[in-house]
Amino acid sequence: MRFLFQITRRPLARLGLLILIFATCCVASSVAQTFTPDQAHEDMLYLRRQLKTYHPGIGYYTPEARMEQLFDSLYNHLDAPIDYLSLFRYVAPYVSSLKDGHTNLNHRNGYLNRTTHYVPFYIRQVDGRYYISHNASEDTTLRRGTELLSIQGKSVAIIHKVLMDGDRSGSDGDNQSGREQWSLTQFADYYAAWYGSVDTVQVRYRLPNDTLTRQTRLACPTSERFRNLLAQRYRRDFEQQPDLRQPNLSVRLVDSLSGTAVLRVSSFMNPRGFDPFQWQFKRRLKKAFQQIQAAGVKNLVVDLQNNGGGAVLNSARLLQYWLPEPFTVMEGEHMKRAARAEIVTRWNPLSVLNFSMNYKDDGRGWFANRVARKRFRPAGKLAFRGNLYLLMNGSSFSAAASVLAKTLDAGRGTFVGEACGGAYWGDFAGQFKYITLPHSQIQVRLPLKKLVHAVAADHANGFTIEPDFPTSRSYDDLLQNRNYTLHQALLLIKEGVSAVRATTGGPLEALK
């Protein structure tokens, strides 16, 4: 210390050094932090109290008695000091037992940051095998199409299952499509969240058109280095390819002879600026359908792949352009009594009046929304009455699932792709409460409302919304980085094939 202070005699320099030393010590302490059994027990008890108090889905997918058994088992086996990351993984099964895609277990603030190192790949699955689609490592021989066999001695298949089971974000009930999709689409993030930051990884792999199994150790980049390398190596994928990178609510005419256009709907939120009533989204949506009408589109492909949701209001606005009759999106909206305190705030006296106008006691100890069944009218002159094709995958969730459910219920559209992540009946969402466990500072996002779709149960084609024409990635799709679901939809249009139902909604009856 004497040497350090001898070379930093200026007060500001000395202060800066002290701050740096203090910050370094805090980081080191944070990384090595261990909790006593009592501290871990207090965190778990706090988590259970908060879930029981606020979460509207307790007991819905998993019987409450089963959740209690799981909690007791976890609680009673926690009898030794435990480090932060192990505690994070330890409480994950209890949160996951809700089977609710809107309930998220998150790390404490700052745990994943600019210095975190990530597994340097985008990984995609083909016929049960895992391949590198984008390589952000320094080893450029691991080109697209390289089969990835293991990471750190564990098979990729086992790692994928661990990540799927550890985080149920974006997938409701026992539906696996969302978990499969998100855990591969964001594999590097999921891996870092579950296993922590790693400077290097040892991987086993097979190069394309080669049966030889190879092994190497790779440095793991930070997020900034990761992004920069991908942008340099895959410019076409990230800057120029319209199939995968269309802006939200953009329209692209793909075949003027058949009158086929693609409307990309990647989100039901306007991501830029302050727009509490989502008027910008409404204006852009109207402009899109003006373009569709002006182009004389007869076959409209609505791409909802990787649409994680947003405002239900915006999903209703989209539905107005193809549902033929006035409709409601939600049959009902309910919340536990404790949730009132999260909506009514002292600093906003109008919130008391607003709550009284919009909610009533339902007689079961819950509040029900008086205006949940808001009716929407068709768009009129801009309404689309041609052939409608909807693209979906496991990452089509929340408000995107609402669009799919209402369209299926109305007997409209041909569904192409994979089962979506959301349930046909509705979900737990609407508004959220963020809780922080007192000792570990682990965070949990939990929904406050139960939202029930205004759909007929006998119009369902499964627990979620299932495709009329399932698609799966081929090895050639991987090599071409092709939007294979869109490719399949365009082939159906070219052949004049669509789904036809005997009544509104219901299962597929005939083709052409």
Residue 347 lies in a domain: no
Residues 414 and 296 in one domain: yes
3-state secondary structure 151-191: ECCEEHHHHHHHHHHHCCCCCCCCCCHHHHHHHHHCHHHHH
Residues 96 and 154 in one domain: no
Number of compact structural domains in the chain: 3
* DSSP-derived secondary structure letter, 146: P
| Beta strands at 154-155 and 200-206: parallel, antiparallel or unpaired | unpaired
Last residue of a domain, one of 239, 258, 284: 239
Residue 345 and residue 339: Cα distance in Å, rounded?
11
- pLDDT value at position 14? 39
* DSSP-derived secondary structure letter, 310: B
- pLDDT value at position 275? 78
On the 0-12 / 13-18 / 19+ scale of CB atoms within 10 A, 61 is middle
Residue 18 lies in a domain: no
CB 156 within 8 A of CB 168: no
- pLDDT value at position 246? 85
Residues 305 and 323 in one domain: yes
- pLDDT value at position 168? 92
- pLDDT value at position 276? 76
Residues 274 and 404 in one domain: yes
Residues 196 and 255 in one domain: no
Residue 136 and residue 124: Cα distance in Å, rounded?
15
Residues 151 and 270 in one domain: no
Residues 132 and 270 in one domain: no
Residue-wise pLDDT for 302-343, tens only, equals 999 999 999 999 999 999 999 999 999 999 999 999 999 998
Tokens of 295: 């182009």
Residues 381 and 465 in one domain: yes
Last residue of a domain, one of 220, 239, 258: 239
Residue 429 lies in a domain: no
- pLDDT value at position 32? 61
For the chain, list residues with pLDDT below 70. Answer: 1-32, 240-244, 271, 273, 501-512
Residues 303 and 378 in one domain: yes
- For residue 188, give the amino acid letter: A
Distances (CA, A) of 378 to 7, 8, 254, 265, 461: 74, 72, 26, 19, 25
Residues 268 and 287 in one domain: yes
- pLDDT value at position 241? 58
Residues 221 and 154 in one domain: yes
Crossing angle (nearest 10°) for helices 312-319 and 399-409: 30
Residue 34 lies in a domain: no
- The domain that holds 216 is classified in CATH as 2.30.42.10
Domain that holds residue 53: 39-106
- pLDDT value at position 511? 45
- The domain that holds 303 is classified in CATH as 3.90.226.10
Last residue of a domain, one of 239, 263, 293: 239
3-state secondary structure 416-485: EECCCCCCCCEEEEEEEEEEECCCCCCEEEEEEEEEEECCCHHHCCCCCCCCCEECCCCHHHHHHCCCHH
Residue 85 lies in a domain: yes
Residues 75 and 153 in one domain: no
CA dihedral 244, 246, 251, 256 (to 10 degrees): -50
